[in-house]
Chains A and B, each alone.
Chain A
Amino acid sequence: MSALLEVRNVSKRYGGVVANSKVSLTVREGQIVGLIGPNGSGKTTLFNSIVGTHPIDGGSIRFDGREISRLRVADIARLGLIRTFQQTRIFRQMSCLENMLVSVPQGDASLRAMIARPASDDRAHALELLAFVGLSSKRDLAAGSLSFGQQKLLEFAMALMNEPRLLLLDEPTAGINPTLINGLVDRLKRARDQLGITLFVIEHNMRVVMNLAEHIYCLAHGELLADGRPEDVQNDPRVVAAYLGAH
Chain B
Amino acid sequence: MMPAWAKRWRLRALETVARCVPFALLVLRIILRWLPPALLALGIAAPFLLPSFQVQLTFLWIMIVFALCWDILGGQMGYNSFGNIAFFGIGVYTATIVQIGLFQDVAAYTAAAGMQTISLTPDQYFEGLFIGLAAAPVLAVIVAVVLGLALLDLRGHYFAIATLGLGIAAGELAAAWTFVGGSSGVQVPVYPGSLQSGRLLFYFLSAALCITTFITLRWLYTTRFGLAINAIRDDEDKAEALGLHTTRYKIIAWCIGAVFLGLAGGLVGHIIGFIDPREVAFAGASFGVWMILMAILGGKGTLWGPVIGAVIFHVMRELFWTYLFGWQNVAMGVLIVVVVVFFPFGILGWLRRRYPQLFVRDAAQPGAAE
Residues of A within 8 A of B (CB): 51, 73-74, 77-78, 82-83, 85, 89-95, 97-98, 101-106, 109, 111, 113-120, 122-123, 139-140, 158, 162
Given that A92-B235, A98-B361, A114-B224 are contacting pairs, would A83 and B241 also be in contact in the complex, using a CB cutoff of 8 Å?
Answer: yes
* A95 closest partner in B (C-beta): B364
* A91 closest partner in B (C-beta): B234
Query: CA A68 – CA B215 in complex, angstroms?
Result: 42
Q: Nearest Cβ in chain B — how far from A134, in angstroms?
A: 19
Cβ of B249: which chain A residues have Cβ within 8 Å of it? 114
Residues of B within 8 A of A (CB-CB), count? 32
Given that A91-B235, A94-B234 are contacting pairs, would A109 and B224 also be in contact in the complex, using a CB cutoff of 8 Å?
Answer: no
Given contacts A82-B241, A85-B238, A118-B363, 14 further A-B contacts (CB under 8 A): A74-B245, A77-B242, A83-B241, A93-B301, A98-B363, A102-B224, A102-B231, A102-B244, A106-B244, A106-B245, A116-B223, A118-B224, A123-B364, A140-B360
Cβ of A115: which chain B residues have Cβ within 8 Å of it? 220, 223-225
Query: CA A51 – CA B234 in complex, angstroms?
Result: 21
Q: Nearest Cβ in chain B — how far from A84, in angstroms?
A: 9
Cβ of B156: which chain A residues have Cβ within 8 Å of it? none
Q: Nearest Cβ in chain A — how far from B228, in angstroms?
A: 6
Identify the interface centre among A51, A77, A102, A140: most chain B CB within 10 Å of its CB: A102
* B364 closest partner in A (C-beta): A97
Cβ of A78: which chain B residues have Cβ within 8 Å of it? 243
The answer to whether B238 touches A89, judged by C-beta atoms less than 8 angstroms apart, is yes
The answer to whether A118 touches B366, judged by C-beta atoms less than 8 angstroms apart, is yes
The answer to whether B228 touches A102, judged by C-beta atoms less than 8 angstroms apart, is yes
B233 at the interface (CB under 8 A from A): yes
* A96 closest partner in B (C-beta): B364
B222-266 vs A, Cβ < 8 Å mask (1 yes, 0 no): 111101101101110111111111101100100000000000000
The answer to whether B366 touches A74, judged by C-beta atoms less than 8 angstroms apart, is no
Given that A101-B364, A102-B224, A118-B224 are contacting pairs, would A109 and B234 also be in contact in the complex, using a CB cutoff of 8 Å?
Answer: no
* B356 closest partner in A (C-beta): A142
Given that A89-B237, A90-B238, A98-B363 are contacting pairs, would A74 and B246 also be in contact in the complex, using a CB cutoff of 8 Å?
Answer: yes
Query: CA A102 – CA B233 in complex, angstroms?
Result: 13
Cβ of B363: which chain A residues have Cβ within 8 Å of it? 98, 101, 118
CB-contacts of B67-101 with A (<8 A): none
B326 at the interface (CB under 8 A from A): no
Cβ of A123: which chain B residues have Cβ within 8 Å of it? 364, 366
B367 at the interface (CB under 8 A from A): yes
B273-316 vs A, Cβ < 8 Å mask (1 yes, 0 no): 00000000000000000000000000001000000000000000
